[in-house]
Structure 1
Amino acid sequence: MRLYQALGLQAKEIITVVGAGGKTSALICLARELAAVGHRVVVAPTTKMLLSQLRQLAEPVITRDTASLAAGVAAGLKRENLVTCGSGITDQGKVAGLDAAGVAALADLDIDYLLLEGDGAAGALLKAPAGHEPVIPPVTTLVVTVAGLPVLGRPLSLPFVHRPRLAAGLLGREEGSLVTAHDVARLLAHPHGGRKGVPPAARWVVLLNQAESYTALQAGREIAGAILAAGDDGVITDVTAISFTGGTRTINRVVLGAVATPAPVRQVLLRQAVPPGPVGVIVLAAGAGERYGGDKQLLSIAGQPMVRRAVATALAAVPGNVVVVLGHEAGRVAAALGGLAVNIAYNPGYRRGLSTSLQAGLAALGPESRAALFVLADQPGVTPEVITKLAGAYRQEGKKIIAPVYQGRRGNPVLIDRALWPEILALQGDVGAREIIRAHPEEVLTVAVDCPGIVKDIDTPSDYQAWLEEKRGGAGKCGIW
């Protein structure tokens, strides 16, 4: 999945990127992605930006005259679809930012995206803005606030936090105290912190960068949950016990990323209308479908992509706590899920086997999840009733592994309690929950279901043809098989 897809970009956007912990890297990543797919992109600062950073994209057009700036950028776009610019060069080798007139002149050009860097952070991982920043033009349609997850556990001081005195004041904390997930969430959601200067009509997205380990992803998930639950006042009382009541939200998306790597997006979390419960559903949809010949997730099942059918089934049973793990053709598969209230986790190591997708899914679940129910995207015959029955058995029976059985055959999905997650995290290669089941037979509870879909995958073209023929012949049990 590409960063521009994770951010939910629309057509003809003016995007201002602010914050710390990889802000410039995010801007460069986004510009390159958009240009690579044929969009006309212009990049500029509104404060100051190192000349060397802009030169990573293109030699900038530099002039203080607004008309000359617009003419120079327009000429550059006739040669290339990615142009950088600024209003001057300072004695420190930085490119001076555009004023409101310069931004307006560029916005009037025939471009698709204007990307602006709206403040500086002196290489820190987290920041609090000074009085004069960020510089976000009112015409901005999307603000992206960036923070670096490695700030967790670091002192609230330089070089880790830019303007630590201001940050400490906003948080009511002492300078030098260790930064917690609660601190990061509160600072980013604060109207004088990460939300400062966001125009009323603009969308706002938080990018938590350097989310490359399971620990970082879990911390990012907690921070994201708190930010998404905060109201207009930015008040967050407890990062692990989020209230879903309160003021109007101004954010509906948080991205966990690693923008300096070949896999810049790791998770996309959306604001949920329903509070998550103790059972989280992980839909596994990362595979390349090699036995089928590719693009299996997008097969048409009853008029919709197979992956969308699986996710809709999960949402019908467990609204508010569904994660979809993507890998192969992640952008296309994510597009097929448009409009569904799910969190997306990207598994950059999906080619190393199923175990990596299980682990990516667990990292995407929040602390409220006491168990994970793994759903296979290539089992369109599974119904919401199966998922509901498994989750209910878990709550009532106290077993750590719950599996469905149809006419004596055990199938999927399978539910596994959090106590056994460390064993999943230790798996390697193309192995799945079956290994955990074998290791703990005393913890297995099988639940009889009247649904043959739990034992039928679509792995090959012949499987798909069998499904189509079954459908033409009339629905069987479960309405599918």
Structure 2
Amino acid sequence: MLAAGASSRLGRPKALLNVGGMEGPNDTLLSNAIRQARVLSRDVRVVCGAWYPLIRFRCRQQPSRWVPVACWHEGMAASLVAGIQSLGPRAKGVFVLVVDQPLLDIGALQALGEAARCFPTVPAAADYGRRPGVPAYLPRWLWPDVLALEGDRGAGRLLAEANAARLNIPGVHDDIDTPEDWVRAREELNRRALQATQFRD
């Protein structure tokens, strides 16, 4: 889980935005993202930087491991490298998610996880139309290329060059960068929570 950025456009740490809903009034965007990640793996690692350790102390859902990255300001590549270097020799691959996609479809995430388990050497990623992107699965053979990335570059180009399997994952375009993005996302989260409550009743 990549959560190291400064959230400069938002003006405050997006990881600590209050999502409310079914999980209670103090639930945060990061806690929600950790629950999403657990759909893919029990081993959830949060790569953090700009707002660490504040986000750790305020996060209700604790990951398997916090991975602080001192050079977070260098861009996404530094976070990817730190996350991969935290893994042991037995890992066949790694799932990559970001903290600011709260509306990801859980069924689609389950499909991504199943694809990686059935075909652990095949890279897979969300389909953004012209390019693949996060959430994504990076098999171990692709890691040397990821570790060579620099600056504010993710693994999208590498996934495209590797002909990654592309999956339709609703919610990937609903990321949180501005206060307006957050208003729209929270309204949708509240609507879903209300629907779920009515369904249970």
CA separation of 1:395 and 1:466: change in aligned 2, threshold 3 A: same
- Mapped to 2, the partners of 1:373 and 1:390 lie a distance apart of 9
Does residue 459 of structure 1 match 2:182? no
Corresponding pairs, count: 189
- Which one-letter code corresponds to 1:289 in the other structure? S
Q: 2:137 aligns with which of 415, 419, 429?
A: 415
Give identity over the alignment, percent.
30
2:192 maps to what in 1? 475
- Counterpart of 1:380? 102
- Is the Cα contact below 8 Å between 1:400 and 1:417 reproduced in 2? yes
Cα 1:394/1:317, change in 2 over 3 Å: closer
Per-residue CA deviation, residues 181-213 of structure 1 (Å, 9 max, x unaligned), is xxxxxxxxxxxxxxxxxxxxxxxxxxxxxxxxx
| Distance in structure 1 (CA, Å) of the matches to 2:160 and 2:130 | 17
Report the Cα distance in structure 2 between the residues aligned to 1:447 and 1:311, rounded to whole angstroms.
Answer: 21
Question: In the alignment, is residue 426 of structure 1 matched against residue 142 of structure 2?
Answer: no
The within-5 A match list for 1:86-165 is none
Query: Structure 1 residues 334 and 382 mapped into 2: Cα distance closer, same or farther (>3 Å)?
Result: same
Aligned-partner Cα distance in 2 for 1:345–1:434: 22
Equivalent of 2:9 in 280, 286, 291: 291
Moved over 6 A (4+): 406-409
Unpaired stretches in structure 1, ≥5 consecutive residues: 1-282
CA RMSD of aligned residues (A): 2.4
Q: Which amino acid aligns with 1:390?
A: L
CA distance in 2, matches of 1:353, 1:428: 8
The superposition leaves residues 228-254 of structure 1 with CA deviations (integer Å, 9 ceiling, x where unpaired) of: xxxxxxxxxxxxxxxxxxxxxxxxxxx
Which has the greater radius of gyration?
1
Q: Please, which of 312, 318, 336 is the counterpart of residue 41 of structure 2?
A: 318
Q: Residue 157 of structure 2 aligns with which residue?
A: 435
Using the alignment, how far apart are the partners of 1:466 and 1:331 within structure 2? Answer: 28
For 2:165, what is the secondary structure of its paired residue? strand
Deviation string for 1:3-59 (max 9, x for gaps)? xxxxxxxxxxxxxxxxxxxxxxxxxxxxxxxxxxxxxxxxxxxxxxxxxxxxxxxxx
Residues 1:446 and 2:166 are matched in the alignment? yes
Equivalent AA in structure 2 for residue 365 of structure 1: L
Separation of aligned partners in 2, 1:362 and 1:460: 29
Partner of 1:334: 56
Higher relative contact order (CA 8 A, sep 6+): 2
In structure 2, stretches of 5+ residues that fail to align are 197-201
TM-superposed CA distance for 1:383, in Å, is 4.5
AA partner of residue 153 (structure 2): V
Q: Alignment partner of 1:414: what SS?
A: strand
The two structures have a TM-score, normalised by structure 1, of 0.37
Q: Structure 2: which amino acid aligns with 1:447?
A: L
Shift, 1:339, TM fit: 5.7
Greater percentage in helix: 2
Partner secondary structure for residue 192 of structure 2: coil
Query: What displacement does 1:414 show?
Result: 0.7
Deviations, residues 429-452 of structure 1 (Å, cap 9, x unaligned): 0000112123322xx111234xx2
